[in-house]
């Protein structure tokens, strides 16, 4: 009878350990996603200032400015619930971020056609800030994907996999960069 209680106690402790480990991993994924959201918000906040700076120098480039504004609006309209980051939601999010990155790339390319713009201190500072933000987004994405990898691996390995779905834990989607270069890479732009 004593052996039964010892085995039962060990099973309960094991179950508690698995549950706590899953909670810890899930919270790390949520925290990592929050880091991405902070950097994306910074990116979204810098774009209107950049567009306004360029407007003064490149008034006949209204199409490019409109595309940047529209891409920003589309990207900010997509809200992601970190507890439900599935592949479909992530694909929509990544597509919107890709369009925004390409639009920003076209905006940066304008500076080559307008030497006064290229020399403008505000434009140079905003371009530097956006580049820094893109680097931080990449770092946050790597941190997030590492945590998702660890969490998803935990969900798939024995004995955690026996309890994970029963406890309501589901795999999270990675934040990948597609072949177009969703974040951090300036696309090839030709006018």
Alpha carbons 34 and 40: distance in angstroms, whole number: 10
What pLDDT sits at residue 169? Answer: 94
Instruction: State the residue range of the domain holding 85.
Output: 2-164
Q: Are 173 and 86 in contact (CB under 8 A)?
A: yes
The mean pLDDT of 80-109, rounded to a whole number, is 86
- Is residue 169 a part of any domain in this protein? no
Q: What is the domain-level CATH number for residue 83? A: 1.20.1440.20
Total-model pTM: 0.80
- Is residue 174 a part of any domain in this protein? no
- Is residue 127 a part of any domain in this protein? yes
The yes-or-no verdict on residue 78 having pLDDT over 60 is: yes
Sign of the CA dihedral running 171, 176, 179, 180: positive
Alpha carbons 21 and 7: distance in angstroms, whole number: 21
- Is residue 183 a part of any domain in this protein? no
Q: What's the domain count of the chain?
A: 1
């Amino acid at each position: 009878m004593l052996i039964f209680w010892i085995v039962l106690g060990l099973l309960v402790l094991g179950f508690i350990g698995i549950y706590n480990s899953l909670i810890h991993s899930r919270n790390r994924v949520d925290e990592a996603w929050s880091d991405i959201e902070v950097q994306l918000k910074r990116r979204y906040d810098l774009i209107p200032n950049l567009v306004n700076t360029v407007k003064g120098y490149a008034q006949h480039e209204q199409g490019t400015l409109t595309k940047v504004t529209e891409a920003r609006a589309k990207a900010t309209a997509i809200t992601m619930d970190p507890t439900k980051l599935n592949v479909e939601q992530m694909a929509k999010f990544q597509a919107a971020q890709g369009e925004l990155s390409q639009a920003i790339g076209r905006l940066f390319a304008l500076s080559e056609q307008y030497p006064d713009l290229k020399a403008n201190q505000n434009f140079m500072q905003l371009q530097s800030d956006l580049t820094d933000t893109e680097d931080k987004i990449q770092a946050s994405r790597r941190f997030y994907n590492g945590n998702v990898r660890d969490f998803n691996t935990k969900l798939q390995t024995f004995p955690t996999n026996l309890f994970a779905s029963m406890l309501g834990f589901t795999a999270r989607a990675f934040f990948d960069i597609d072949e177009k270069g969703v974040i951090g890479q300036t696309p090839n732009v030709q006018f």
